Amino acid sequence: MTRTVLLTLGRLPKALDIARSFAAHDWRVVVAEPFGWTLAGASRAVAASHKVTAPAVSKAGYLQDLAGVIAAEGVELVVPVSEETMHVAHLRTPARLMTMPPEAVLRAYHKRGFITLAEGLGLDVPPSAALGSAEAVALAASGDFITKPVHSCSGRGVRFFAAGQAPPEAEVETILQRRIHGRIVSSCAIARQGQVVGNVLYQGAQFSGSVAIAFERIAHAATEAWIARFAAGTGWTGFLSFDFILDADDRPWGIECNPRTTSGLHFFETADIAPALLEGRPPRFRPERVLQQFYSALTDLAPFRPGFFGRARRLATTRDVSWDRRDPWPFLSMTGTSWPIIREAGRRGTTFGEVATLDVGWYE
């Protein structure tokens, strides 16, 4: 009997990897999300797509629509992909959810909650405090610092300050954090009952704003150990991702947790993602150490900016995360399937990454 898996976002290349992986293992793949036509939905790996209410419009309506799709399609497994994970964790359904309970997901996602959780596990995180508190004032006086909303992604709302500058006032709940100077490293892990079965560490090779559009896989034993300790301490199952700063002593400091996938997922062999999630089978890495999002990199190819020839050379020689000659349509139709993101980025005058999940994010 064919089993059916539901992906709760289809617009991002990460969803395409997951869809292709499950289809390769004879699962029937269904996508349900607020965009009617999506990148993953254009794939031969996806059997059906459903347009649902955006959480930004109605969280209750979103969950109700998902429940309807699950019932209509006979869904056995639900796999959230990106920022919608915080909503999907609240879904009440007989289908299995490939994520942690909502209280665990929201604590890890909350910037201050994550710091407290990691501190309790004995992990290195920057000194942090709620903006407006006496602790925050003392932190701001003693060293360089940053502020960021406790619910944000893709660098939205992050501000940088020098030591002694007055902390800003905030309209939403915000954290003030000691700025750790060093190299930014990101991760994407698949965990099963507290055991990391696969993990990718990577750094940006090319950026659009604060969002990486080309990525390089790296190795760093201390960061791997940090992640393993967090997963074990929380008993995590599902996707688990972090951002780190490696300081001048090469020591990793966890700056935030993303209880979902990140672009690091593309470094896993596509066929291995589903078995890793379902069985805890360690996934292999793709042979490429550098990957790119071709169309994002293409839009960043301004001829009069410094480094043009280097970006052009990388564009021509680096593998795109979505291209597969056996399933070419998602890549070829990406301009059309990404049009809502392109339109909103143009309207706001910002990057694609900063608007790609605005309608499905968790901002409470």
Instruction: Read off the pLDDT band of 300 (50, 70, 90).
Output: low
Asked if 76 and 95 count as a contact pair (C-beta separation under 8 A), the reply is yes
Whether the predicted pLDDT of 139 surpasses 70: yes
Q: Shortest CA distance to 285 belongs to which of 259, 266, 258? A: 266
Q: Which fold has domain 183-322?
A: D-amino Acid Aminotransferase; Chain A, domain 1 (3.30.470)
pTM summary value = 0.93
| Cα-only R_g, the chain | 20
Residues in contact with 21: Cβ distance below 8 Å, sequence separation at least 6, in sequence order: 270, 271, 272, 273, 274
Whether the predicted pLDDT of 230 surpasses 90: yes
Question: Which position has the higher pLDDT, 238 or 345?
Answer: 238
Task: Tell how far CA 270 is from the center of its chain.
Answer: 17
Instruction: Read off the pLDDT band of 245 (50, 70, 90).
Output: very high
Instruction: Read off the pLDDT band of 6 (50, 70, 90).
Output: very high
